[in-house]
Amino acid sequence: MTNMRDIIKESNVAVITGGAAGIGLAAARRFAEAGMCIAIADLNADRLGEARVELEAIAGEANVMAVETDVAHRHELEALERAVLQRFGRVHVLMNNAGIQPDTSIFSAEANWDHILAVNLMGVIHGTQVFGPNMLAHGEPGLIINTGSKQGITTPPGNPAYNVSKAGVKVFTEALQHELRNTAGARLSAHLLIPGFVFTELTKGDRTEKPDAAWTPAQTVAFMMESLERGDFYILCPDNDVPRALDERRMAWAIGDVIENRPPLSRWHKDYAEKFRAFVEGA
């Protein structure tokens, strides 16, 4: 198992998409505090500039770059990699974190589905395909961290395009890690970040204050770092409302739909409400 101190250290380079706010910015801060060179990518130019100034105060102007990037377009990720390599030479940590969460239904406009899948799923796939080969080639230890979601595992009703995108991130990252661990000489590993309820721009809605149930982005990143130190692939984060044991029961019930041939999403089916409650309480 690779020691994280060989990766998250002074002069090594981290690239974070969706890095101007939320979990991405919290991760960038943590990497900067460790002495790493930081490249953040995001869409909002003003917010990106504010994040750059904040990170420069930690790591120094020479060690931070901010690039306006739409991860929905592979050529913009290719331009990002060229800029990072020109500035810093190589990449040791890639965090494919950019994501969006507009409401959808099964019969939402095709453009809405296309946009979510292009950002949340293809942004992760293309980010990995663009940065991964050079991360493997330079031969130094490295990490690819892909931000998934519990909604990509238990797939609750309400936003099917988002669930499909995050389920795809899970499957892709599992396949990525399998391939990496079977690649001779590879010193690169992949990890799936599965946040709990985190108070970010993506989740806060009209709220101005963090709900008691939510974690902060900094708490989520602290948990991520502890998990990486242990070598965890699945970084399953709790929050102030849902402990790991409850997550485990919900996930076990979800796969039970397949094994027991129950109706899909039976957790939300009126005929299974009591059975699900008893299953959770029997943990």
Residues forming the active site: 162
Using alpha carbons, select from 76, 5, 80 the residue that is nearest to residue 36. Answer: 5
Using alpha carbons, select from 81, 196, 186, 207 the residue that is nearest to residue 140. Answer: 186
Task: Locate 98 and state its tokens.
Answer: 């950019």
Q: What is the DSSP letter of 263?
A: P
Backbone region of residue 134 per phi and psi (left: phi > 0; alpha: psi in -120 to 50; beta: other values): alpha
User: What gap in Å lies between CA 209 and CA 207, rounded to an integer?
Assistant: 6
User: What gap in Å lies between CA 73 and CA 134, rounded to an integer?
Assistant: 19
Classify each residue of 208-230 as buried b or exposed e, where b means 16 or more C-beta atoms within 10 Å of its C-beta: eeeeeebbbbebbbebbbebbee
Dihedral sign computed on CA atoms, order 257, 263, 269, 274 = negative
- Greatest alpha-carbon pair distance for the chain in Å reads 61
User: What gap in Å lies between CA 122 and CA 74, rounded to an integer?
Assistant: 8
